[in-house]
Structure 1
Amino acid sequence: MNSCLLSHTSSVFDRADPHVVSSYVNEHMGMHDIRMPRLGQPAASLNHRKFASLDLCRISYGGSVQVTSPALETVYHLQVLLQGHCLWRGGGEKHPFSPGELLLINPDDPVDLTYSADCEKFIIKLPSSLLDKTCRDHHWQPPEDGIRFKPRYNLHQLEGFQGLLQLVCVEAESTHTLQQVQEQFTRILCAKLLTLLDSNVSRLPLEQGAASFERILHFIEANLKHDISVEQLARLAHSSPRSLYALFERHTGTTPKSFIRQKKLEQIRSSLTDPASRVRNVTQVALDYGFVHLGRFSESYKNAFGELPSDTLRRQKAPNPSV
């Protein structure tokens, strides 16, 4: 595959001991082990650049090698095969990668790769926190147990992605690159990954998310006297609890529990100020709305409305002065 993904200006090792190169990879790209034939003297090469929160590298071991790792933990590896062949094993499957194919390794995926002697790869190490932030920025819904991608793709079928990788490499090797520009490219790269590659992220349209929130509001209003759990609301919105928190942050600026507590307090205040509600005492109405710790309830009420609930009730029951 003809590519300009990291040139010789990014060279760190050229025709070096593969185990020395492997140690460098362990430090910068993620922990792994290599196994090579005892015969011969393979010469490894590696180009490397830091790019905002990413690490970019172009690597060849110069000989047949097996690369293994139990898991990458908090990073994703995007690997593009440039030349040679690579056999991937994972999830009870195996697939021989050819030049132009892309492998996406999730953080909790065991790594088992066998490189041909002429194999060369371009690899991006991408922290999982970047993809989580991209989801929040776009109001997408990642699952609670983490974002996962399907592993295999043809780079030429991912519209515009090869050109984006080339632009990233050009910017990484520029002598005048700015940190803000690198961070902007990184955001674009993460967004492209989440839109072009198959993943478990739900990208609901904004209006669909708004409809879900409207449905949640109606449910809360109708059930203020009952215990309402985050899990109930998440099921109602067809989302994960984490995505539900993001939905509330976007629409209310607070958490689901805080929003529900505020709505309960507002309804209690309405009852305490309504002569037709026939509230006998504060304890009765507090317990009706699930406040069993009356001291905490009074404190929350005063923080919200500037007076104790007993003061509100007393003022409502006070006789009107004659005119």
Structure 2
Amino acid sequence: MHGWSRLTLAPLLKRRVFSSTQQDETRTLVSEALKEHRLTWKGGRVDAELNRARFGSLTVCTLRYGAEVHIEPDRLQDFMLVQVPLRGRACIECGGDRVDADPDCAAVIAPNRPLRLHWEAGCEQLLLKIPRGKIEAIGQRAFGETAAGPLDFSPALRLDTPVGAAWCSMMASLIHLLPTLDDGAPRPPAAWLEHLEDTLVLHLLYNQPNSWRSRAGLAPTVPRRLAQAESYMREHLSAPLTLIDIARHAGASASALTRLFQEHRDTTPMNALRALRLDTARQKLKAGAGASVTEVALGVGFGHLGRFSEYYRERFGELPRETRRVAG
């Protein structure tokens, strides 16, 4: 398991709720343990297992189905969920966002988001369930009245970054401490355990982009190389830029720049460039300055008009010529 050894997970893996090779039994038992859901089996051998432990108000689990599955739960409402693939991959559609989760990228699922999940065969995940009341209590201490409004998260949580690795380390620490919660075991001070629990949640509230943090005015600091890359893109929208070009002018390797965009912008450098080009094209078309759609497309670096129109409609829900026609 990438980043999570059997030794690290051992205290949790000893707390088995069930294992099963039966479809109906698996769906029923997972629903009872986590949340009612619709489960569609897509193929492969059922080899399901759920392990679960509680740490204060938090619930931590490992879950696998063995087979490929499609999962449709109702909105979470009463809790927030963090899904961390231990092995394999999953596609998580969270409202209008999609996370292609793997051992390097987890998903943070806020309450009240529509949710659909597709786990590939062999996918196994670590799940952290945080009660809504816990999040709200910590949020009010951290952000004051700002936390009275709805909470929404940017769902993709990169784990191959210093911030993501720190969160994994805290999760591993909690799992290591599970034996101290057993009856008869020497127990750490309750206030210290609660502090660890709160710190794990605070880490997400302060470091993972979310609506409370934004309303509190705590905008994340943009790394210098990321800012340089974005500035270079804006200044050279019409040029045939490559990832290597952008990385070189930002003073970073292509892989390092990609990690920066994934961590801070939840996208890739080239997708960010395309979004900048499309946004600029829309501004020009809405300005109604007389330029044709073709001239606008070429002016922001699109040499293929059909592809420009396709990307434009995908981003804005209408064709470029429709935007221009409304602008007059």
> Is 2:178 the counterpart of 1:201?
no
- Cα deviation, 1:276-323, whole Å, max 9, x if unaligned, reads xxxxxxxxxxxxxxxxxxxxxxxxxxxxxxxxxxxxxxxxxxxxxxxx
Taking only the aligned residue pairs, the percentage that are identical comes to 20
Q: CA RMSD in A?
A: 2.3
The aligned runs of 1:108-147 (5 Å cut-off) are 108-147=112-151
Could you say what secondary structure the match of 2:149 adopts? coil
- Cα deviation, 1:66-99, whole Å, max 9, x if unaligned, reads 1111300121001111111101223344342222
Could you say what secondary structure the match of 1:108 adopts? coil
Match of 1:23 among 20, 28, 37: 28
> Is 2:176 the counterpart of 1:170?
yes
Whether the 8 Å contact between 1:44 and 1:59 is mirrored in structure 2 is yes
Deviation at 1:194, TM superposition (A): 0.8
**Aligned equivalents of 2:134, 2:73: Cα separation in 1:** 22
Change (3 A) 1:78 1:58: same
Deviation at 1:109, TM superposition (A): 0.9
Matched letter for residue 178 of structure 2 = A
Whether the 8 Å contact between 1:55 and 1:125 is mirrored in structure 2 is yes
Deviation at 1:180, TM superposition (A): 4.1
Query: Which 5+ residue runs of structure 1 have no aligned equivalent?
Result: 206-323
Which residue does 1:2 correspond to in 2? 3
> Is 2:200 the counterpart of 1:189?
yes
Deviation at 1:189, TM superposition (A): 1.1
Matched letter for residue 3 of structure 2 = N
Could you say what secondary structure the match of 1:2 adopts? coil
Match of 1:53 among 46, 53, 57: 57
> Is 2:47 the counterpart of 1:36?
no
> Is 2:16 the counterpart of 1:11?
yes
Moved more, 195-204 or 81-90: 195-204
Whether the 8 Å contact between 2:159 and 2:168 is mirrored in structure 1 is yes
> Is 2:112 the counterpart of 1:101?
no
Change (3 A) 1:43 1:70: same
Whether the 8 Å contact between 1:140 and 1:201 is mirrored in structure 2 is no
Could you say what secondary structure the match of 1:62 adopts? coil
Which residue does 1:274 correspond to in 2? none
Deviation at 1:139, TM superposition (A): 4.6
Deviation at 1:50, TM superposition (A): 1.4
> Is 2:90 the counterpart of 1:79?
no
Deviation at 1:41, TM superposition (A): 4.1
Matched length: 204
Could you say what secondary structure the match of 1:130 adopts? helix
Whether the 8 Å contact between 2:139 and 2:147 is mirrored in structure 1 is no
Which residue does 1:215 correspond to in 2? none
Change (3 A) 1:194 1:95: closer
Deviation at 1:183, TM superposition (A): 2.2
Could you say what secondary structure the match of 1:166 adopts? helix
Give the greater-gyration-radius structure (CA): 1
Whether the 8 Å contact between 2:20 and 2:26 is mirrored in structure 1 is no
**Aligned equivalents of 2:86, 2:38: Cα separation in 1:** 22
**Aligned equivalents of 1:169, 1:62: Cα separation in 2:** 23
**Aligned equivalents of 1:62, 1:161: Cα separation in 2:** 27
TM-score of the superposed pair, with normalisation by structure 1? 0.57
Deviation at 1:103, TM superposition (A): 0.2
Could you say what secondary structure the match of 1:182 adopts? helix
